[in-house]
Amino acid sequence: MSTDMLNGIDDPKHLIRERALYRLQDALAAGEVNDCQAVTAIESKILILLEASDWEGRQGGFLSAKALLKYDDNNSFKEKIMTYCEKHLEDTEARVRLAAGETLRTLAEKHGVEVYQRLQANLIGSLERHFDREPAEDAEGALEEEEQSSDVENSEPGSPQYLKKTDLRHDTEGWKCLETSFKALQCVIEGTGEPIATHLGAHERGLIYRALQHPNRFVRETGFLTMRSLCSILRGADLLPQVSELSGWLATGLSDNWSQVRYASSVATRAFVEGLEEESKDECFPTLVPRMCLNRYYVAEGVRLYSQETWRTAMGDTGRQWVAKCAPEVVTYYVEASQANNHAVREAACACIAELMSKIDRAAVAPHVPTLLKALVDCFKDESWPVRDAACSACGNCVIAFPEESRSVLEELYELWFSHLWDNIWSVRETSAIALANVARAYGEEAIPRIAKLAKERLPMALIQPRDSKRFGTLENSTTFGVAKQSQEDGKFENQVMFSCGSLAPKLRRGGGCMDHGFSREKEPWEASDGAIYLLRELAAVAPEAVLKLLPELVEVSRVDHRSFQHYYNLLETLWKQLPAIAKHVGKRPFKRYLEDFLEPLFSTLTCGQQLAEAAAGYCITELQTLIGERIFEGRLTPEQLTLMQTSPFVGGRGIGPGGMIPRGDGQRPMPARVFTGAPPGQGAGRGAQGGVPLASSLQEAMLRVDATKRKSGLKQAET
């Protein structure tokens, strides 16, 4: 029987329901249901399913009806399905409501605007009924008015801070049928297309705009997806009257705390921009361009990549001109974003400010440099180390672009850079070294002696490192299975501003000074030497003569007794990874005077038993051999060292360093080698050195896998 193909469409198991639906769709597409009797039988079975008491049956009925309606012109059946769609817009099961909306899409595609005219009263009524609900009672009681005011004042620009001060509902609390009713409206708009535009008046648009500022983030997300559908049917002259209104609402979504809402707003923004006529851009771009720019650096990959593609397609070759044209609005938004609750937004703002000052027309940016530098200095004191890292790098780039304008804050920046060169986090140390090299490029002989003096002071610090160096000084091991926890009592987590994954808390308090920016442990002397090694690598590209004078101190660091402190091998790993770049920049001939001084500790590390350090030493030997020449290098080795070099699995001209990194001693962060994606945590952009071709040694590749495992267990984890 023809109804047999519907068997399982109401099964409790999702997989069986899905198979039954595919079976029906394939049969209809192949023309197997081509007689009236068979179609009538399927229609009857669908109507029975729509009356089922279990939700699986009702969902199966709507999905089957959607498949059949593409091929069935029975007007009576269409009317009955329309009635059922209206009836189940507020079904108790969300999946049934969604299926009803998808069925409405198919009806609208086939029958046009009459579907919306038939549904309008019920659909709009459903939206109006469910916008408001009784406020939930809070277990702790209302927050103090003062605290609520503080939350609003410190909230991210554009985030939905429109609730009453006593409304404590969070962003993910359920809201009955509101979300699914908007999805049904979205389906009808997309199914009908442009003819529905004249039927979406101010009242309907007002409901959509109201959804964009709803406290529930799922409703906001659906609201922006509905906006995308609205923008796709409004083109050219039809869009012109709503340009200012639409751009303002889109801007709120592009700044939302939830990444999913940002993404939905980005989708709507692309549809909006694609439909704009050239004369309308002057009206809306000052509002949209700053937010579109920032989202190109947002931490959520979907938002970031989609925004980058939107920028390329919408702006073409005119992006820089538009940013320069909208410079006052861009600067204002960037500064506000640098003070946002969401740490990911602050981090993106730092990257955007650096881009603005280094890539955009100087005449447009110059008047705003003091304001931008002040924002960066503030972020430089953030409790979140990724924000500090981004601000550190951005300040270095800004000094390059505007050296004279930066003098007003240069002393404060020096203090911050010097402090962060001794940070607990290795990537912050390296970024500070890169920034200081940019300062040397910008100010030349005015800055180089001061920076070189710092390197000279910091390099020998490892020699006074206590034996019991600690990586996690603020943690205590008091749990059942030895899992570290913070020794302080946990704070209160209820009734706080909600953020999407990756940004779970409001902006933390600012530190009182450059040494007090967050949850950091006491600094270790060996970390000062580690930062100084990064500084030598970067400074060698700018002032090789100054670095050459510091090589004796570097030799002393390489000879530190491995038994003297716990993180000795961490320091050696950094040293051997950076030494080839240092040698290259100071020059082959000058470096050869110090080569023999490095050979003994270098080959000692090659057999130290710590694989990360061994791999770094092997990489260093390979690179120095290439730089100096194989015969000259081998002529400096003892027979034992020569044998070890020839037998070590970590030596052999494989062309890629531990962690799969390409060397960048030009003031930029090293970039990962594309041919190798297995870089262990902490060995990402910036930690390693070299690369370009695949690993030739399976043993070395296996070693890197072991490296990743050990880092996860904390053996070589980035210090926090």
Closest residue by Cα to residue 263 from 303, 207, 299: 303
**What pLDDT, on a 0 to 100 scale, did the predictor assign at position 36?**
84
Q: pLDDT by residue (tens digit) across 502-511?
A: 444 444 444 4
pTM recorded for the entire structure: 0.76
Single-letter amino acid code for the residue at 405: E
Q: Are 549 and 540 in contact (CB under 8 A)?
A: no
Residue 244 CA from chain centroid, whole number: 29
* pLDDT tens per residue across span 407-439: 999 999 999 999 999 988 899 999 999 999 999
Give percent above pLDDT 90 in the chain: 56
**Phi, psi (rounded to 5 degrees) for 486:** -70, 140
pLDDT at 2: 64
Q: Is a pLDDT exceeding 90 seen at residue 457?
A: yes
Q: Is 645 exposed, middle or buried (0-12, 13-18, 19+ CB in 10 A)?
A: buried
Beta strands in 305-393 (DSSP E): none
Mean of pLDDT values over 428-454: 95
Rounded-to-integer distance, Cα 276 and Cα 425, Å = 46
Sequence spans of domains, the chain? 436-470+522-712
- Distance from C-alpha of 657 to C-alpha of 109, rounded to nearest angstrom: 57
d(CA 160, CA 285): 22
The CA distances from residue 661 to 199, 430, 584, 702, in Å, are 58, 14, 17, 16
- Look at residue 587 and tell me whether its pLDDT is greater than 50: yes
Which amino acid belongs to residue 312? R
Distance CA 390, CA 351 (A): 6
CB 672 within 8 A of CB 662: yes
* Count of H-run helices and E-run strands, the chain: 32, 2
Report in angstroms the alpha-carbon separations of 583 from 299, 460, 650.
36, 19, 20
pLDDT at 145 over 70: no
Q: What is the pLDDT of residues 126-136, one digit of tens each?
A: 999 888 765 54
Query: Mind listing the pLDDT tens digit for each residue in 2-33?
Result: 677 788 999 999 999 999 999 999 998 888 88
Tens digits of per-residue pLDDT, 242-278?
788 889 999 999 999 899 999 999 999 999 998 888 8
pLDDT band, very low/low/confident/very high, at 236 (cuts 50, 70, 90): low
Token pair 């939830």 is found at 258
Please name the residue that has the structure tokens 């570097």.
554
pLDDT tens, position by position, 35-92: 888 888 999 999 999 999 999 999 999 999 999 999 888 899 999 999 999 999 999 9
Q: Is the dihedral of CA 589, 593, 595, 598 positive or negative?
A: negative
Buried-state track 600-616, b at ≥16 Cβ within 10 A, e below 16: ebbbbbbebebbbbbbb
What CA–CA distance (Å, rounded) separates 377 from 380? 5
Predicted confidence band of residue 350 (pLDDT cuts 50, 70, 90): very high
Strand intervals (E) in 368-408: none
d(CA 486, CA 484): 7
pLDDT in tens, 100-144: 999 999 999 999 999 999 999 999 999 998 887 655 434 443 343
Residue 304 has pLDDT above 50, yes or no: yes
Residue 325 pLDDT greater than 90, yes or no: yes
**What DSSP designation does 166 have?**
T
> How far lies 18's CA from each of 50, 345, 546, in Å?
17, 41, 70
Mean of the per-residue pLDDT values of the chain? 80
Nearest of 214, 217, 288 to residue 251 by alpha carbon: 288
Contact residues for 553 (Cβ-Cβ < 8 A; gap 6+): 456, 459, 460
Whether 173 has a pLDDT exceeding 80, the answer reads no
| 706 confidence band (pLDDT: 50, 70, 90) | very low
Of 181-195, 388-402, 558-572, the least confident: 558-572
**495 phi-psi bin (left φ>0, alpha ψ -120 to 50, beta other):** left
Range name among 250-254, 294-298, 706-710, 716-720 with the lowest pLDDT average? 716-720
What is the reported pLDDT for 623? Answer: 93
- pLDDT on residue 31: 85
Query: Is residue 166 within 8 Å of 86, Cβ to Cβ?
Result: no
> Which residue did the predictor score with more confidence, 347 or 609?
347
pLDDT digit string (tens) for 183-232?
Answer: 999 999 999 998 998 888 889 989 999 999 998 899 999 999 999 999 88
Of 323, 322, 292, 316, nearest to 306 (Cα)? 292
Q: What is the pLDDT of residue 579?
A: 95
Give per-residue pLDDT as tens, 652-689. 754 344 444 434 333 344 333 322 223 333 333 333 33
What per-residue confidence (pLDDT) applies to 34? 76
Arithmetic mean of pLDDT, 317-324 = 93
94 burial level (CB within 10 Å; 0-12, 13-18, 19+): middle
Q: Which residues pair with residue 485 across a beta bridge?
A: 476
pLDDT at 563: 65
Q: What does the alpha-carbon distance between residue 641 and residue 636 come to, in Å, rounded to a whole number?
A: 9
Residues 6+ away with beta carbon under 8 Å from 554: 459, 533, 536, 575, 579, 582
